[in-house]
Structure 1
Amino acid sequence: MQYALRSLGSRMQSRRELLDKLVRRSDPETAEKVVARLEEWGYVDDAAFAEAFVRSHRGRWGRLRIAAELRKRGVSEEVIKESLEEDDSGEAARALDLLERYRWRHRGEKTRMVRFLQGRGFDLGTALEAAENYLRLQEDEENG
């Protein structure tokens, strides 16, 4: 129990992450009991974990990447969907912001911009829209 609390003290974790850590240190039955107790007490909550994860990563990653990372951490599809629905606004604006921050990565080339954004977890439509907006803004600045 102390190991689990110490582990949660360093950062929030999903139920499965904590369970996997505890199983490495004890038997699965004991680990399950500890995690169940911590859930009762409110120390382990996948919904709160997912919301915090989305908030902390939305500036760098798109919806697809965030969802993949949450899946990897054992968060259910329902919880992922709910946490990403709350974050629905501004996906294209965040993609455009990334293009402006990382100009050296794409050098103004549309295909590089789209690949960069897709690598960050933005869908193709959002990446294309952001790249076109970025190029339009650059053109407006030059014509000025």
Structure 2
Amino acid sequence: MKSSKPCKSTMEAALDLLSRRLLTHYELETRLLEKGYESSEIKAVLERILEWGYVNDRELALMYSESRLKRYSRRRVQQDMQNRGIESELIDQALKATYSSNDEYEQCMSLAERWYTQEEKRWELKCAKDNAKRTIPRELWVRQKVTRKLVQRGYPSDMVRSVINQIGNEREDGSV
């Protein structure tokens, strides 16, 4: 038989959740509700935890944005923070502090160049194993793979297209 009343107090459960990972106000409230705690108890606990500074959506948004700066696009980070329940105003402030359009383009270019080299090597290995794979032109295969990875990271399609074309042109000029 399962008891409908949770064993831990609401405060204990909240602190236990926060001991594992930084959570937003929304995430903590949602998880406590899912565990079956009363919403009046949750509100009181959240107020206390906010007073203590254990939950700070502004700091979390800034840290989250900074930690993803080198790997993800501004749009992807913005979407991830929205999914975590951070207010739009806090998201905008955090993104303005960490992302610039020029930096984002440079990051996209850096990832594309690295992945371009990796995918060229991967294509060579696949062709060495199976000559039938040579029916797809190497350049097309590599461009598709790198484009897909960049789009998955949230970079805008016009930026990805520009970066891929620039890399392709540089490689053509270098090989002629």
User: Does TM-score exceed 0.5, indicating one fold?
Assistant: yes
Gaps of at least 5 residues in structure 2 are 1-10, 121-137
Contact kept? 2:57, 2:86, Cα under 8 Å: yes
* Cα offset, 1:65, TM superposition: 1.2
Contact kept? 2:115, 2:146, Cα under 8 Å: no
Q: Which amino acid aligns with 1:130?
A: V
Q: Which amino acid aligns with 1:41?
A: W
| Map of 1:123 onto structure 2 | 156
Distance 1:59 1:108, change over 3 A: farther
Q: Which amino acid aligns with 2:110?
A: D
Distance of 1:108 and 1:50 partners within structure 2: 39
Cα RMSD, aligned residues only = 2.2
Gaps of at least 5 residues in structure 1 are none
- Aligned mate of 2:75, from 60, 64, 70: 64
Q: Which amino acid aligns with 2:160?
A: A
Is it true that 1:16 corresponds to 2:26 in the alignment? Answer: yes
Q: Specify the structure having the higher radius of gyration (Cα).
A: 2
- Aligned mate of 1:42, from 45, 48, 53: 53
Is it true that 1:86 corresponds to 2:119 in the alignment? Answer: no
Q: Percent identity?
A: 27
List structure 1 runs of 4+ shifted beyond 6 angstroms. none
TM-score, normalising length: structure 2: 0.70
TM-score, normalising length: structure 1: 0.84
Distance of 1:48 and 1:136 partners within structure 2: 42
Distance of 1:128 and 1:87 partners within structure 2: 24
Distance 1:5 1:133, change over 3 A: farther
Distance 1:93 1:30, change over 3 A: same
* Cα offset, 1:93, TM superposition: 1.3
